[in-house]
A and B are shown apart, each in its own frame.
Chain A
Amino acid sequence: MIINHPLLGPRDAAEFTYLGDAKLIERPDWTSKTAASEFYEYQYLRDNPAGLHRELWFHEAGDRSWLVVTRDTTTHEITSVELARDVARSKGRSK
């Protein structure tokens, strides 16, 4: 597969390692009253779409950036690649 890195251009998927659903960015707030069940869902519950999937890839053999890749799991077509850091910030994550 070819992943179009937003800064470096097209790279072979072999340069990356795959983590999983980009939902992992949305880590719950530990102070929440329902933190235990929120963390449980965060850790264990996943959609398993036959279709577009937003997922995390780590450019381990490159610039060591984490990327959010939107990929169709049935055709492997990749429709977008973003820096995970940008996605995290857009979801209000900070320190």
Chain B
Amino acid sequence: MTQVNRLSGGQIDREKTLNFTFDGQTYLGHDGDTLASALLANGVRLMGRSFKYHRPRGVLTAGSEEPNALVELRSGAYQEPNTRATVAELFDGLEAKSQNHLGSLKYDLLAINDRFSNFLTAGFYYKTFMWPKAFWEKIYEPIIRRAAGLGSLSLLDDPDVYDKGFLHCDLLVVGSGPSGLMAALTAARSGGDVIIADEDFVLGGRLNSETFEVATQSGSDWATHAVAELASMPNVRVMARTTIIGAFDHGIFGAVERISDHQATPLDGKPRQILWRIYSKQSIVAAGAHERPIAFENNDRPGIMLASAMRSYANRWAVTADQTVVIFTNNTDGHRTANDLTAKGVSIAAVVDTRATAPTSDAFEVLAGAQIVDSKGRLGVTQAIVELADGSRRAIDCGAIGVSGGWNPNVHLTCHQRGRPTWRENIAAFVPASSLQNGMLVAGAAVGEFSTASAFRSGADQANVALQALGLKPQSVELPQTEDAPVSITPFWYVKSGTGRAWIDQQNDVTVKDIKLSHQEGFISVEHLKRYTTLGMATDQGKTSNMGGLAVMAEMTGKTIPETGTTIYRPPYTPTAIGVLAGRARGMDFHPTRLTPSHKWANEQGAVFVEVGNWMRAQWFPKAGETHWRESVDREVLATRSSVGVCDVTTLGKIDVQGADAADFLNKVYCNGFAKLAVGKTRYGLMLREDGIAMDDGTAGRLAEDHFVVTTTTANALGVYRHMEFAHQCLFPDMDVQLISTTEAWAQYAIAGPNSRNLLQKLVDDDVDISNDAFPFMACGKITVCGGLRARLFRISFSGELAYEIAVPAHYGDAMMRKIIEVGAEFDVVPYGTEALGVMRIEKGHAAGNELNGTTTAVNLGMGRMVSKKKDSIGSTLSERPGLNTADALVQVGIKPVDPKDPVPAGAHLMNADGPVDAANDQGYATSACYSPNLGHHIALGFLKDGANRKGERMRLVSPLTGIETNVEIVSAHFVDPEGDRLRA
């Protein structure tokens, strides 16, 4: 219960004590702690089990680059796996669980994997699990599936709310360490709009972890004042807890701001996280640098961590991993940790420095020219085994080892737009390419300026470069006085002695041996190394491991590290919840819902609705007592064909085409002719794609010499409009024609059936003559209804009945439907939905989306002669290709079952009555099917080779996968009223 490893000082608030649990055990921490710092304070070093070998692991770092300490936070539906304990802000009541063990964390049954490590090396799965064949599905796969992955999901719906937002700025500064803060201050003082973002909950970067003074203040105090100044400026937005997850095109950045993750429950009305799109004119990546380890045998034990992380834990969080520490370093930074820990009363058992010329110390023993070659302590390090310069070995007792192998500039974001880092020999590290896309600038440690003074200078300089580019006045800034130590590093990547495993990538359990195996097997390019070993492919993207892996491979191949090259970092910078990418677009809000003008009325009737794209359309209108949809649909069909029915067809695309060249324009987009269409007449039109495939069909009504109304199918409304605008603007730019989509402007209802004229008579005003002579089949016109309301009337029929479509301005749609029902009561008018609509058009043999399926031509639809050869239209030339006009081309037919009880399912294929059932003998397929209440059996439309000449033929309709084989007869597609008498009544 007591925090045995707490030190003095730090930036935590000891007044606020917080309770939290880890694996069911309760501990205490303080405000300002992370889960990792609080666990270390309580003497907990063991925090997880590794991915493949289930080795006991603890924290390696103090930041978001952490590979090991991945925990499950929260419980129930809020549970989130793979959270880094190093960035999880501690709050009162925090619940966390370790991951990836069978049984307890301490006694993980799957640790047996570690004993079979020889069989589980990199790429082992390419060489195993193949025999016996039957074992794959029943044994290997289920086991692998259970063992795979880190952490577990609750499998409950994510209850959190996420939002999206858009921000604009002159300058985006990524990172709030010394260079970032200085860059933001410099730019903001010139009046530029600045956003500064940091993933941490306290801004200041390494200033909060080091003990250098900055202008006579502590680094963290200086940072606090700088942040306060920035926050006070109206042209600055300070964003803490905000990770810039990606650099995208043209200065657009993605950012995730964590609003509520540091609280037990989200604040009222606040989302959990926000996804920001930040549009920046200039950007400065001040993302700092990550320390890298040195690999040695058994370098992955709990308590072995980066030396700089030890300084963060000691200076910011007042915590040490153990009271006795050994340091392993190849540069001056390791000594810094030894000094800082000594100042806090921690015992430094030794500083093991690979350099023969290592500086000495009065406070602790320095072993120059020495290496750590092994460690002991399965559940937590107990000893470091050191090989001295003279070759002798010494075992040093300790509870923690701080490892410092140098620093890697954090180039991640500079790679997203394909920037390839370049090698800088004097720091033995990669820095961002000198010229980056979209003018991205880099400052501070991220560009290899490692001292605090050079970081400040770099930030100010880059800010002035950005200001110049923005056309703002550069600022001369007084830089605070602070340390400016040079970098002194002798590259040392891994310890060569020893026969055991030395870890390079701790999250994916990739060792030096694995890299050597990759080389041995011929996977020597850096891209192959990555995929073969999975080095750098875990959730940390190899931030602490890529460098080490490269170095080993470089040595194996005899190349230099820059010659070996790097792989590409990609967004997101750290793992990102799918929920925040979805934002509010979930469930019914996934896309907008479009309702027709009669929707409210249809809802009152208890209609059953179906989604058609974004639209909700009434599918059928069940009456009291009806228990099955077929009852409703059959009734609607029979009632419409015997008297009159009404259907909302507003969703079909409507495009107004106006202008002196309107008719010529339609002649270009339709394969059939429209130039000679008389005013007051409508014509069916077929639109082809340029390759001759049918694209859409509909009607065009000529309301005036220079005014047409074009209809499209519901699904293609957008596409046809787009296509027509393309034709106008790109192909025929001088045609005097204007297009406008009017789909939503007009409510449109089909009124169909023998009594449709009688019903309509009760709606149209007295001066409107809708007799068969005055308004014959395919007439159209502007009329008024209901005492002066402007309307458009089209005598067109999808059902094959005597039918009209009446259009009124959309805001009259609800009233119009109610009026139709009211005056139609006399004729038992029945509302019908999309199902009945579908049945009737199949009975009539009208093609629809199933027939215009993206592979069919006018010839297939039985409309070959409709494609005019006398004019140019889109698709006309390529439609004449011989391959589309063979003698046995598919042609639309009707299909009926020989046994009237049999269904004739759409999608089934037509085979000859005898012979094999296989693809080579495929004769065609059924496209649309339904039960016809008028005929008393199922019917279908379909395509059949040379179908026009095969009426009456007996065939088989088959679906081998689903065990269907039905005897059918090929008939005319026009099952009902083939002569069209009803249409012309």
B729–A65 contact, CB under 8 A?
yes
CB distance from B125 to the nearest CB of A (A): 35
Q: Is B268 an interface residue (CB 8 A)?
A: no
A88–B878 contact, CB under 8 A?
no
Q: Decide yes or no: A94 and B733 within 8 Å by CB, A1-B249, A2-B249, A56-B726 being known contacts.
A: yes
B726–A93 contact, CB under 8 A?
no
B722–A58 contact, CB under 8 A?
yes
**Set A13, A36, A77, A88: member contacting B880, Cβ < 8 A:** A36
| Assembled-state Cα–Cα distance A58/B664 (Å) | 23
| Assembled-state Cα–Cα distance A21/B881 (Å) | 24
**Set B279, B718, B729: member contacting A85, Cβ < 8 A:** B729
B729–A88 contact, CB under 8 A?
yes
Q: Is B730 an interface residue (CB 8 A)?
A: yes
**Set A25, A43, A65: member contacting B690, Cβ < 8 A:** A43
Contacts of B881 in A (CB 8 A): 36
Contacts of B722 in A (CB 8 A): 17, 58, 60
Q: Is B437 an interface residue (CB 8 A)?
A: yes
Contacts of B306 in A (CB 8 A): none
Contacts of B726 in A (CB 8 A): 19, 24, 56, 58, 66
Task: Indicate the size class of the contact surface on chain B.
Answer: 20 to 34
**Set B437, B732, B878, B880: member contacting A95, Cβ < 8 A:** B732
| Assembled-state Cα–Cα distance A35/B692 (Å) | 14
Contacts of A76 in B (CB 8 A): 249-250
| Assembled-state Cα–Cα distance A21/B722 (Å) | 16
Q: Is A48 an interface residue (CB 8 A)?
A: no
CB distance from A38 to the nearest CB of B (A): 8
Chain B residue with Cβ nearest A4 = B250
**Set B417, B733, B876, B877: member contacting A89, Cβ < 8 A:** B733
Encode contact with A along B729-761: 1 for CB under 8 Å, 0 otherwise: 111111100000000000000000000000000
B878–A56 contact, CB under 8 A?
no
Instruction: Name, among A1, A28, A83, A95, the residue most crowded by chain B CB atoms within 10 Å (CB to CB).
Output: A95
Q: Is B872 an interface residue (CB 8 A)?
A: yes
B876–A30 contact, CB under 8 A?
yes
| Assembled-state Cα–Cα distance A56/B730 (Å) | 9
Q: Is B559 an interface residue (CB 8 A)?
A: no
Q: Decide yes or no: A27 and B878 within 8 Å by CB, A2-B250, A75-B437, A95-B661 being known contacts.
A: no
A66–B880 contact, CB under 8 A?
no
| Assembled-state Cα–Cα distance A75/B419 (Å) | 10
| Assembled-state Cα–Cα distance A83/B730 (Å) | 9
CB distance from A91 to the nearest CB of B (A): 10
Q: Is B418 an interface residue (CB 8 A)?
A: yes
Chain B residue with Cβ nearest A60 = B722
**Set B418, B661, B735, B878: member contacting A43, Cβ < 8 A:** B878
| Assembled-state Cα–Cα distance A87/B563 (Å) | 46
B730–A35 contact, CB under 8 A?
no
Q: Decide yes or no: A75 and B732 within 8 Å by CB, A1-B250, A30-B877 being known contacts.
A: no
Encode contact with B along A25-53: 1 for CB under 8 Å, 0 otherwise: 10110110001100110110000000000
| Assembled-state Cα–Cα distance A60/B250 (Å) | 21
CB distance from A7 to the nearest CB of B (A): 13
Q: Is B524 an interface residue (CB 8 A)?
A: no
| Assembled-state Cα–Cα distance A88/B880 (Å) | 27
Q: Is B725 an interface residue (CB 8 A)?
A: yes
CB distance from B5 to the nearest CB of A (A): 50
**Set B691, B718, B725, B876: member contacting A66, Cβ < 8 A:** B725
A93–B732 contact, CB under 8 A?
yes
Chain A residue with Cβ nearest B248 = A1
CB distance from A31 to the nearest CB of B (A): 8
CB distance from A34 to the nearest CB of B (A): 11
Q: Is A69 an interface residue (CB 8 A)?
A: no
| Assembled-state Cα–Cα distance A10/B604 (Å) | 46
Contacts of B725 in A (CB 8 A): 58, 64, 66
A94–B732 contact, CB under 8 A?
yes
Encode contact with A along B633-646: 1 for CB under 8 Å, 0 otherwise: 00000000000000
CB distance from B168 to the nearest CB of A (A): 11
CB distance from A60 to the nearest CB of B (A): 7
Chain B residue with Cβ nearest A30 = B872
Encode contact with B along A78-94: 1 for CB under 8 Å, 0 otherwise: 10000111011100011
| Assembled-state Cα–Cα distance A64/B726 (Å) | 10
CB distance from B570 to the nearest CB of A (A): 15
A75–B690 contact, CB under 8 A?
no
Instruction: Name, among B249, B251, B418, the residue most crowded by chain A CB atoms within 10 Å (CB to CB).
Output: B249
Encode contact with A along B562-603: 1 for CB under 8 Å, 0 otherwise: 000000000000000000000000000000000000000000
Tell me the B residues contacting A by CB distance below 8 Å: 249-252, 279, 417-418, 437, 661, 664, 690-691, 718, 722, 725-726, 729-735, 872, 876-878, 880-881
**11 A-B pairs with C-beta separation under 8 A:** A1-B249, A2-B249, A2-B250, A30-B877, A43-B691, A58-B722, A76-B249, A84-B729, A84-B730, A85-B730, A88-B733
9 A-B pairs with least C-beta separation: A30-B872, A94-B734, A1-B249, A2-B250, A66-B729, A85-B733, A88-B733, A39-B877, A85-B729
List 9 additional A-B contacts (Cβ < 8 Å) besides A66-B730, A93-B731. Answer: A25-B730, A40-B878, A56-B726, A56-B730, A58-B722, A65-B729, A89-B734, A93-B734, A95-B735
